[in-house]
Chain A
Amino acid sequence: MATAPYNYSYIFKYIIIVMADCPHTIGVEFGTRIIEVSGQKIKLQIWDTAGQERFRAVTRSYYRGAAGALMVYDITRRSTYNHLSSWLTDARNLTNPNTVIILIGNKADLEAQRDVTYEEAKQFAEENGLLFLEASAKTGENVEDAFLEAAKKIYQNIQDGSLDLNAAESGVQHKPSAPQGGRLSNEPQPQREGCGC
């Protein structure tokens, strides 16, 4: 754990909203992940929430300041898909206009039980300006891609200036001091933490 790479240049806040009939969590759970976009290491701070009506009052508090929102439905349960639009409204209202929202159809491995077609969801995504992917948390298929696609889009927004990093709730922290080439190495570092090297 302590050997994790500490030299990422950005932190993106992601909110995951999982539409499911039975919630996987109450409130929020956290995760982190380091990915790489255009040679830049990016740390994702993931806020994982359940998109269930009875938790809405609490979980929607967490949407603010997200750089990316991943809305996950279950392709084998149409009910989860049907809830999307009201949660999408929430996500739009509570995040900033530049927040990248990606729609993810989960359980892509269960093709036989499919209840929502790819085309239908794809169309919904296009109409609402969302990225779209089908993935499987079980097999891991496309999961990494989902995080990555959203990150690429966010990174692109940063590059073309449409996402203002100085805005209070951009959901992105830039670490200009993050050393890509040991820029800080000329700084004498006291070894008070007892690093053995």
Chain B
Amino acid sequence: MSQSALSDADPSLDITSPPTQHPHTDTNSCHDAPAAVPTPSVPLQPPFIPESLGLPQEMTVADSATGETAEVPAEQLEPTAERQVIECDQPVSLEAEAAEEDEKEKGWGGWSSWGKSLLSSTTSTVGQSLTSVKTKAGEALRLRMTSVGEEVQKEDEGAEGKKENEDKDPSGSGESSASAAASGRGVFSTITHAVQNTGKSVISGGLDALEFIGKKTMIVLAESDPGFKKTKTLMQKTVSLSQILKEAKEKERARLGSQPVCAPTAHYGILFDDYQGLSHLEALEILSNESELKVQAYLSSLVEEEQEELKKELIFIKNIFIKQQEEEGSANGEEFVSVLTELLFELHVAATPDKLNKARMKAHDWVSEVEQPDPTETVGRETQEDQSGGEASHGENETEESKKDEEQQGEEIKGGEDEETERDTGSIQAVYLSSVGSLAEVTARSIEQLHKVAELILHGQELEKPARDQANILSRLTCAMCKEVECLAKKFSDTLFLVGVSEKDCVLKGSNSTSYIQTAFQLLLPVLQISHIQSQDISQAASFFVAE
């Protein structure tokens, strides 16, 4: 998910361009063809190695919440990988690995030659490692992968071996294949090597190592995605998501500036920035990075026992962030508002969802408006549902909102004008603009909400709620926001479909939106961790931070 957002944000592409590759795609294909590789060839390790060695080597407790989160949607894989690694302590010879790095860099220099033998070796390597994971942990990686794998196969000229292999092993998983497990060592040896490099402290840290390995595994997977290359280049250059988005936006802005000024042009990235989404994301990144540094500094100031103890606690919090929260359904608007309000209240920080509520209410109202005046078109059941949803949320919102948020008026009014003109002219253009604009606004407000929560937590007087509880609540909150955005995107596509625009685009932007929100959520992890530390031992931590 994050990848798609990032590759969309690639300034060299249009931000709206559909992500063509998903990491899962390859994961999948590999997964299907685990024992494919006759040659555990030299370029087993993609060029992520140098980068991985440059990672914080001592403490990786919280690092998934920094910039890296953006590139690695590790939620699903990490836990599995971690479990796996526990058993993966067999001494693997690693000596050659470091020496091979340079070669690999060369060998991998040409991503363009994707589809050649490189592909087969990578994918199969990854596949093997996954198989190995499966074999050892006895647990399938729950990868969202289905038909995509076939596409990859088609593209993949050099992977005939894979096919053969599938024939040999129709189960596709090769659970018990000893050879797969053995060649899987390629990747794991890399990993183990990296772990060794991180020093004894990490290995003795146990969980840290597992975490680290989990991340490496994800990077291996991500690297096998050709579409990831651009993202990765970008990441090396600019690191933070807000930076990338900023560049994308500026590029687009420059493009717009060069055009004769005419009708307003909808560009999600620019609108997202106009609603200050980018600024809030940037500010949240700042807080996140600073918190991360503080966490690391504090950890390293502790004696070993205390350190281990604290790490466990921090990892506990981290695991809450990794877990996928699916149970929270916000099928209709009413529910979203109350869920949002309730969760924010539960957090025990003085954050109110006014702006966000207002934005989404506006969005839903707008959908209703578009659909209402045109009953002649092929409206259908969905419209009715939308309308009832919209109305319900409207009523709900009115009571909660009425008097708040004066400063938002300016924007609201502007938006209102847009809506009016759109209704009068019935212009497709306007419908499209409003859709994209609303989506951008709700997304920006969601991120603002998470940023405010971060500020309030950091500002925190006395911590009223344990950080782990807050983490759980925030996870649910994020989930609710994402669902809401998806739901909105869906409505917009339906609406656009009504007026004759391909609906794909809006859905895409919806997925951008959710990955921005997810990224923002992950940025909260170090914030909660430092908050936890500060509440744990107030006197000790306080003196530490003052001394610092």
Query: Footprint of B on A, CB under 8 Å?
Result: 1-7, 26-28, 30, 32, 45, 47, 54-55, 57-58, 61-62, 64, 173, 175, 177-179, 182-185, 187, 189-190, 192-197
Q: Is the CB of A190 within 8 A of B287?
A: no
Whether B5 is near chain A, meaning CB under 8 Å from some CB there, is: no
Q: Is the CB of A185 within 8 A of B258?
A: yes
Range for the number of chain B residues in contact with chain A: 35 or more
Whether B362 is near chain A, meaning CB under 8 Å from some CB there, is: no
Whether B540 is near chain A, meaning CB under 8 Å from some CB there, is: no
Closest to B448 in A: A30
Q: Is the CB of A179 within 8 A of B258?
A: yes
Q: Is the CB of B257 within 8 A of A61?
A: no
Q: List 22 A-B contacts (CB under 8 A).
A: A1-B271, A1-B414, A2-B270, A2-B271, A2-B437, A6-B253, A6-B257, A26-B456, A30-B280, A32-B276, A47-B279, A47-B283, A54-B459, A61-B290, A178-B253, A178-B254, A189-B258, A194-B265, A195-B262, A195-B429, A196-B429, A197-B260
Binary contact readout B439-467 vs A (1 if CB under 8 angstroms, 0 otherwise):
00000000000011001101100000000
Partner of A184, one of B258, B261, B286, B287: B258
Chain A residues, Cβ within 8 Å of B276: 30, 32
Closest to B410 in A: A1
Q: Is the CB of A193 within 8 A of B16?
A: yes
Chain B residues, Cβ within 8 Å of A64: 286
What's the least CB distance linking A174 to chain B, in Å? 10
Whether B428 is near chain A, meaning CB under 8 Å from some CB there, is: yes
| Complex-state Cα separation, A194 to B267, whole angstroms | 10
| Complex-state Cα separation, A61 to B290, whole angstroms | 8
Closest to B349 in A: A26
Query: Footprint of A on B, CB under 8 Å?
Result: 14, 16, 250-251, 253-267, 270-271, 274, 276, 279-280, 283, 286-287, 290, 350, 411, 414, 427-429, 432-433, 437, 451-452, 455-456, 458-459, 501
| Complex-state Cα separation, A4 to B427, whole angstroms | 21
| Complex-state Cα separation, A5 to B262, whole angstroms | 11
Q: Is the CB of A57 within 8 A of B458?
A: yes
Chain B residues, Cβ within 8 Å of A54: 459
Q: Is the CB of A175 within 8 A of B250?
A: yes
Q: Which of B253, B262, B287, B456 has the most CB of A within 10 A?
A: B253
What's the least CB distance linking B455 to chain A, in Å? 3
Partner of A179, one of B257, B265, B451: B257
| Complex-state Cα separation, A173 to B256, whole angstroms | 18
Q: Is the CB of B259 within 8 A of A195?
A: yes
Closest to B266 in A: A193
Q: Is the CB of A189 within 8 A of B455?
A: no
Closest to A182 in B: B258
Q: Is the CB of B274 within 8 A of A192?
A: no
Q: A3-B264, A196-B262, A196-B263 are in contact. Are A27 and B257 (CB under 8 A)?
A: no
What's the least CB distance linking B199 to chain A, in Å? 29
Closest to B277 in A: A30
| Complex-state Cα separation, A1 to B259, whole angstroms | 16
| Complex-state Cα separation, A74 to B500, whole angstroms | 56
The 8 A-B pairs with the shortest beta carbon distances in the complex, nearest first, are A2-B264, A7-B257, A27-B455, A197-B262, A184-B258, A179-B258, A6-B253, A6-B257
Q: Is the CB of B255 within 8 A of A189?
A: yes
Q: Is the CB of B254 within 8 A of A177?
A: yes
Q: Is the CB of B455 within 8 A of A6?
A: no
| Complex-state Cα separation, A57 to B16, whole angstroms | 38
Q: Is the CB of B414 within 8 A of A61?
A: no
Give 17 A-B pairs besides A175-B250, A179-B258 with Cβ atoms closer than 8 angstroms: A2-B437, A6-B253, A27-B283, A32-B274, A32-B276, A45-B279, A57-B458, A61-B290, A177-B251, A185-B258, A185-B259, A187-B255, A189-B259, A193-B16, A194-B429, A195-B263, A196-B262
What's the least CB distance linking A91 to chain B, in Å? 16
What's the least CB distance linking B137 to chain A, in Å? 41
What's the least CB distance linking B4 to chain A, in Å? 18
Closest to B411 in A: A1
| Complex-state Cα separation, A183 to B260, whole angstroms | 12
Q: Is the CB of A27 within 8 A of B452?
A: yes
Chain B residues, Cβ within 8 Å of A185: 258-259
Chain B residues, Cβ within 8 Å of A190: 14
Chain A residues, Cβ within 8 Å of B264: 1-3
Chain A residues, Cβ within 8 Å of B411: 1
| Complex-state Cα separation, A192 to B267, whole angstroms | 10
Q: A7-B257, A177-B254 are in contact. Are A194 and B266 (CB under 8 A)?
A: yes
| Complex-state Cα separation, A71 to B16, whole angstroms | 40
| Complex-state Cα separation, A4 to B256, whole angstroms | 10
What's the least CB distance linking A77 to chain B, in Å? 23
Q: Is the CB of A6 within 8 A of B459?
A: no
Chain B residues, Cβ within 8 Å of A193: 16, 265-267
Q: Is the CB of A178 within 8 A of B257?
A: yes
What's the least CB distance linking B385 to chain A, in Å? 27
| Complex-state Cα separation, A192 to B15, whole angstroms | 11
Chain A residues, Cβ within 8 Å of B433: 2
Closest to B273 in A: A32
Closest to B457 in A: A58
Chain B residues, Cβ within 8 Å of A55: 459
| Complex-state Cα separation, A28 to B451, whole angstroms | 10
Chain A residues, Cβ within 8 Å of B258: 7, 179, 182-185, 187, 189
Closest to A180 in B: B257
Closest to B276 in A: A30
Q: Is the CB of B279 within 8 A of A6?
A: no
| Complex-state Cα separation, A173 to B238, whole angstroms | 14
| Complex-state Cα separation, A4 to B501, whole angstroms | 25
Chain A residues, Cβ within 8 Å of B283: 27-28, 30, 47, 62
Chain A residues, Cβ within 8 Å of B14: 190, 192
Q: Is the CB of B286 within 8 A of A2?
A: no
Q: Is the CB of A58 within 8 A of B265?
A: no
